[in-house]
Amino acid sequence: MLLAAKVLAGLVLLIHVYILLLETVLFKTRGRKVFGLTKEQAEVMAPAMMNQGFYNGFLAAALAVGFLAADPVLGKAFTVFGLICVAVAGIIGAATVQLRILYVQTVPAVAALIVLFLA
């Protein structure tokens, strides 16, 4: 079951790398379409989205450290920390921005946590 936990945590990591790219370098093109914004709205929101994108990147970085840490205890700690942060961020995003965020961020993170703790 440890392999399943790693696969799910890896999926969450990849989702957050994509979100980082979507909210930063791709925001005025692909990101604008994903978030349903006009070109004018995207121009106004771009600086805030750049900041938000980097927060998502930091979540991905915590999960990456979990995969790369030589010490398995440290790796698990970073993975758990990253997944909990993603789950909470997804709940806040769903409550304040769009319900879809709950399914994109929180559900995979919680699934990974459950499988990790059952492993």
63 burial via Cβ count (<10 Å: 0-12, 13-18, 19+):
buried
Q: Which residues contact 23 (CB under 8 A, 6 or more apart)?
A: 31, 49, 50, 52, 53, 56
Contact predicate 112/9, CB 8 Å: yes
What is the pLDDT tens value at each position of the chain, 119 positions in all? Answer: 689 999 999 999 999 999 999 999 999 999 999 989 999 999 999 999 999 999 999 999 999 999 999 999 999 999 999 999 999 999 999 999 889 999 999 999 999 999 999 98
pTM here is 0.90
Identify the three-state secondary structure at position 12: helix
Residue 109 CA to residue 14 CA, distance in Å, equals 12
